[in-house]
Amino acid sequence: MELIYRPRRLRSSDTLRRMCRETRLSADSLIYPLFVDETLSGKRPIESLPGQYHYGLDTIEEAVAECLQAGVRRCILFGIPSHKDALGSSAWDPNGVIQQAIRKIKAAYPDFYVVTDVCLCEYTDHGHCGALCGDTVENDTTLPLLAKTAVSHAQAGADMVAPSDMMDGRVAAIRKALDENGLSNVPIMAYSAKYASAFYGPFRSAAGSAPSFGDRKGYQMDPHNRREALKECELDVKEGADIIMVKPALSYLDIIRECADAFNVPMAAYSVSGEYAMIKAAAQAGLVDEHRIMCESALSIFRAGAQILITYYAKELADAIQKGEIG
């Protein structure tokens, strides 16, 4: 048979397959989520996220040391405060849980890159992402609170802030506040296309951030919508976002691809708690090979167009990359 082109030629050996890979992965693209609990001494397993922990302020350096040992040099911090109120005032307290955690990390590991999640849901007593007017989150009243929170994180030493609240105009408000406080070099990674997803369940249990009434469909995006994601990303870029993000990841690979193609800024994706928990549960039941599924899932997100991945598997993926099993 006379075949001029035989695609299988380039699959004939491991060496050749590696040389011809179209998607490359690096541990430098991974960000590990860390949960810091102001009320905790030591560390405590997170029941809803097997293999993950709540860390007290006395053990946060230990968590960072484990990241560095695995080859992960970046984290995103989520705080669990000792005090909650209607406005979430602990979020911008100079001695709040995140602010203290940043200072401890930077004192011990000054080159470790710290991103902070900027939202109010973990700090409000009602669990919503902003100030309430009746049963509705009041968008414009929330903006200065988010801006104060971002500034307080940056003043404590955060390298980057990541607003996840989905309020209209929050990137512009945060950028303005950072610049006015001499923090113009602090980048913003915006949760630009954040969907009202069922995949967040384990995180909300871990962070104590589930809303006490209603849901977040009034500000997070409808999973039916594709064009709206492009609009949200465009608005964030115009307002000064340095990096845009799609969340969740695996069920929104089409959105990652479209937004990565449309905008000339780095694209991040958050492989969320429900994605992680499903793999863990299936592996525990003996239904899948956890390591291979982990690698293939991460690869699909990067292949779709992400350049940065927030993932609970960051340490394991970094090890797999180092061993040449992926990337």
- Active site residues per annotation: 194, 247
Check if the beta carbon of residue 192 is closer than 8 Å to that of residue 245: yes
Q: What residues have CB less than 8 Å from 286, skipping those under 6 apart?
A: none
Helical spans, DSSP H, in the chain: 14-19, 60-70, 97-108, 139-156, 170-180, 201-207, 227-239, 253-262, 273-284, 290-304, 314-322
Ramachandran angles phi, psi of 62, nearest 5° = -60, -40
- Between CA 165 and CA 177 the distance in angstroms is 17
Check if the beta carbon of residue 119 is closer than 8 Å to that of residue 167: no
- Between CA 209 and CA 48 the distance in angstroms is 13
> What is the residue whose two structure tokens read 């919508």?
225
- Between CA 44 and CA 54 the distance in angstroms is 5
Q: Is the alpha carbon torsion for 288, 29, 310, 39 positive or negative?
A: positive
Q: Determine the 3-state secondary structure of 277 from DSSP.
A: helix
- Between CA 110 and CA 139 the distance in angstroms is 36
Supply the DSSP symbol for 124. B
User: What is the chain's alpha carbon radius of gyration, rounded to the nearest angstrom?
Assistant: 20
Q: What residues have CB less than 8 Å from 239, skipping those under 6 apart?
A: 169, 171, 172, 175
Length of the chain: 327
Q: Determine the 3-state secondary structure of 147 from DSSP.
A: helix
Would you state the structure tokens that stand for residue 79, as one six-digit string?
Answer: 């705080």
